[in-house]
Chain A
Amino acid sequence: MAGVIQQKQTSSGVHPLKFALWLIIISIIMMFAAFTSAYIVRKEEGNWLEFDLPDNLLINTVLLVLSSVFMQLAYFVAKKDNINQLKIYLALTLALGVAFLIGQWEAWGDLVSRKIFFGGSDANPSGSFLYVLTGVHGFHLITGLLYVLIVLISAFNFKVHSKKMLRIELCTVYWHFLGGLWVYLYLFLSLNH
């Protein structure tokens, strides 16, 4: 990244950008910790609409977990300098990520068709919270997809290989985190419905 003044080694042994990524992940975790604890506090107060989660959330979860698997495979083949497979795996990661987002969009459509709205006079916080959790996660997933896209383009330019792993390494960490975050949210929502 521009502006990084190179120092020969770091005092923690970790690349500074990887360290910074972990801190970004922690701050995102804090956001969702706030949302999910607000969810629990608010639910305890009553006046809470009970409804079934959209059915396709489970399929979406499987899609996202699969994309994480392909991301990990991409990381392994990049280490072995297998650039052709790397491109395929990254493209699959990207495609499954986009499929997940489309699936989430359809889940919203399902909710609307059952008259569970985000806002307005008929809305209950239980429905609004579902939109907020999926929406904010979706926003972060878009940033992850952009990152995967950047790595894919770099792969086409032969800028990802066994001697140049930082970019794909950070991308893998971030993508697994986004997948894990969704699994947490899905389990959280399932247990609270």
Chain B
Amino acid sequence: MASTDISLHKDVHHEHDAHDEHDHHDQHFIFKYIFSQDHKVIAKQFLITGIIWAFIGGALSSIFRLQLGWPQATLEWLEPLLGKWIEGGKLSPEFYLGLVTMHGTIMVFFVLTAGLSGTFSNFLIPLQIGARDMASGFLNMLSYWFFFISSIILFFSMFLETGPAAAGWTIYPPLSALPQAMPGSGAGMTWWIVAMAFFIVSQLLGGINYITTIINLRTAGMSMTKLPLTIWAFLLTAILGVLSFPVLLSCVLLLIFDRSFGTSFYLSEIYVAGEALSNVGGSPILFQHLFWFLGHPEVYIVILPGFGIVSEIIATNARKPIFGYRAMIGSMLGISLLSFVVWAHHMFVSGMNPFLGSVFMFLTLIIAVPSAVKVFNWIATLWRGNIVFTVPMMFAIGFVSLFISGGLTGIILGNSALDIQVHNTYFVVAHFHLVMGAAAFFGMFAGVYHWFPKMFGRMMDEKLGYVHFWLTFIGVYMVFMPMHYVGIAGFPRRYYSWTSFDLFQSFANINMYISLAAIIAWLAQFIFAFNFVYSIFRGRRASANPWHSNTLEWTTPVLPGHGNWPGAIPAVYRWPYDYSKPGAEDDFIPQTVPYSETQSSNLPHDKD
């Protein structure tokens, strides 16, 4: 990477504005780094918590992949870690279910929701729209600390004697509603629900702040159609969160009443543990409707920030304007809208009315249209660009690849007839891990590598970055491609053991292969962890704009203080994608450059 400091137009906005009072330099350590109200510090808090959670979530999956890959092996060597969850050298089946549940909960909510949009919405929104901070720094701080409390509760639920919640991350009743149904539905489930309640509060506080900030605190000239696509993505993510998380809260509230207060919202005519329950009149399908009304927008909450980050990084590193800026916004709007009317495609085989299934199938398949528009635009942006293969660019391209591979199987799963065969199999697991799991992780990695210089003032090591990329990229495909085959054969997910089915004996080798690849891919993440921590302290010092990018955050000093810009907030004159504009001196023109200064490259309609 070019390390020369080009520091373009630094002289433009440097007069000191006496009215700005941002003397936070002498703050006490506790208020500067722990209970901070600075969006950049809160973003780092979310990021580091998210990374810790990602390693825990990955470790859990490695443990249950050991069981799936080597069902005959003795796991006594894990006893120091798992204690009595290893029974006679075997993983306890109850704990296996707990592992699966916690892996899903941690990855979906704690890493890819809080860790991803918590980090990048917080970090980028004020910096890219030209604001001093979030609309309310205090609520923003609360958002992190509610997430922190939630994290602590969920973490310690793994050490309960009866184990963590084990009903799957979707916590379907009656399994989750009856403590006597299995050990994991006892205290572990209660802790799970409490953790999620705090999590929802955190997400609502964060989301309300993001939307308010984007709508209200844009700098002069920053119209909605001059916003970087990252900000559009974060805006829509936050809107989805504000609309869908309250529904999850309602849904879980009714579950709490069923669990602890003897109501029958979801329970009816159940015989469990040698006893017929008195609950009459509840409907477990009602739970699924409420849950998936959140659950489906949730997968877009996970992937939309990735869309934004990847669009930004691809345009910057292809040195080309993003192809179809307005189409990108339109497709994100379309996806957000559709995300609220497709939830029942998770319930095709739940006993729901099949006619309703056809309606939801139709709506689901429409999502392929805006998704294809996005993919086309990313590829068209790359087409004949002067591509700089930086590490974030590699991850961004990897994101597009994974999104296509995973998205194609979505068309198969969205068919209510085909779903009869593949529902609840590893085909589903492969689909969503590629399209929203691995893809969102790639978006997150791309974002971390790309904005690391702005976060910590130093660059991450490139060579380690490439090694990390290739091991992860190949690893992810080695894990999830074979899963499609076992899934088509009907291999069910969430099963502790399959060795007693003759049908599945022939998959022993392929399962071992998947497990091996999964563990290698997880271990490869330690390269990233080392690179991340090492570069914070010892990385090469970054310039203010190391990627020669156009957006506003790169006009701040190398390490922006509280308030982001030392002088007045810069005004914005153009969209963020003026890369390689014919006639321009450089191959990029930052948003803060007025058209009057770029006569040679102006198009007829380019006027201030």
Do A27 and B208 touch (CB < 8 A)? yes
Indicate which residue in A14, A19, A27, A123 contacts B246 across the interface (CB closer than 8 Å): A27
- Complex formed: what's the CA distance from A35 to B289 in Å? 12
- Complex formed: what's the CA distance from A53 to B246 in Å? 27
Does A28 interact with chain B (Cβ within 8 Å)? yes
Binding-face segment, B255-263, B328-336, B585-593: B255-263
Give the residues in chain B near A47, CB-CB below 8 Å: 268, 280-281
Give the residues in chain A near B249, CB-CB below 8 Å: 31
Give the residues in chain A near B268, CB-CB below 8 Å: 47
Chain B, range 552-604, C-beta contacts under 8 Å to A = 563, 569
Do B217 and A120 touch (CB < 8 A)? no
- Chain B's closest residue to A46 (CB) is B281
**Shortest distance from the beta carbon of B177 to any chain A beta carbon, whole Å:** 12
**Shortest distance from the beta carbon of A135 to any chain B beta carbon, whole Å:** 10
- Chain A's closest residue to B243 (CB) is A30
Indicate which residue in B135, B243, B261 contacts A16 across the interface (CB closer than 8 Å): B135
Does A150 interact with chain B (Cβ within 8 Å)? no
**Shortest distance from the beta carbon of B278 to any chain A beta carbon, whole Å:** 4
Does A187 interact with chain B (Cβ within 8 Å)? no
Chain B, range 208-255, C-beta contacts under 8 Å to A = 208-209, 211-213, 215-218, 222, 242-247, 249-251, 253-254
- Complex formed: what's the CA distance from A120 to B281 in Å? 13
Give the residues in chain B near A20, CB-CB below 8 Å: 135-136, 139, 208-209, 212
Give the residues in chain A near B209, CB-CB below 8 Å: 20
Give the residues in chain B near A102, CB-CB below 8 Å: none
Give the residues in chain B near A10, CB-CB below 8 Å: 216-217
Binding-face segment, A1-9, A62-70, A86-94, A163-171: A1-9
Known: A20-B136, A34-B293, A42-B286. A119 touches B257 (CB 8 A): yes
- Complex formed: what's the CA distance from A7 to B265 in Å? 48
Give the residues in chain A near B222, CB-CB below 8 Å: 11
Where chain A touches its partner, the secondary structure class is: helix
- Chain B's closest residue to A122 (CB) is B278
Do B217 and A136 touch (CB < 8 A)? no
Where chain B touches its partner, the secondary structure class is: helix
Do B250 and A35 touch (CB < 8 A)? yes
Does B446 interact with chain A (Cβ within 8 Å)? no
Do A4 and B242 touch (CB < 8 A)? no
Does A132 interact with chain B (Cβ within 8 Å)? yes
Do B254 and A38 touch (CB < 8 A)? yes
Indicate which residue in B133, B139, B253 contacts A136 across the interface (CB closer than 8 Å): B253
Do B136 and A3 touch (CB < 8 A)? yes
Does B71 interact with chain A (Cβ within 8 Å)? no
Do B280 and A124 touch (CB < 8 A)? yes
Indicate which residue in A38, A48, A132 contacts B286 across the interface (CB closer than 8 Å): A38
Q: Mark A27-62, 1 if CB is under 8 A from B, else 0.
A: 110111111001001100101100000000000000
**Shortest distance from the beta carbon of B195 to any chain A beta carbon, whole Å:** 19
Give the residues in chain A near B216, CB-CB below 8 Å: 10-12, 14, 16, 19
Does A153 interact with chain B (Cβ within 8 Å)? no
- Complex formed: what's the CA distance from A26 to B466 in Å? 45
Give the residues in chain B near A45, CB-CB below 8 Å: 283
Indicate which residue in A2, A19, A33, A42 contacts B212 across the interface (CB closer than 8 Å): A19
Does B37 interact with chain A (Cβ within 8 Å)? yes
- Complex formed: what's the CA distance from A26 to B133 in Å? 24
Does A146 interact with chain B (Cβ within 8 Å)? no
A-B pairs with lowest CB-CB distance, top 7: A119-B262, A3-B137, A121-B278, A16-B135, A34-B250, A3-B138, A10-B216
> What 11 additional pairs, Cβ within 8 angstroms, besides A38-B290, A124-B264?
A3-B140, A7-B217, A10-B216, A11-B215, A17-B135, A20-B136, A30-B244, A30-B246, A31-B247, A31-B250, A48-B281
Write 27 A-B pairs (CB below 8 A) sorted by A numbering.
A2-B138, A3-B133, A7-B132, A12-B215, A16-B135, A19-B212, A23-B212, A23-B242, A27-B204, A27-B208, A27-B242, A27-B245, A30-B244, A30-B246, A33-B247, A34-B251, A34-B290, A34-B293, A38-B254, A38-B286, A47-B280, A47-B281, A48-B281, A118-B263, A119-B261, A124-B264, A128-B264
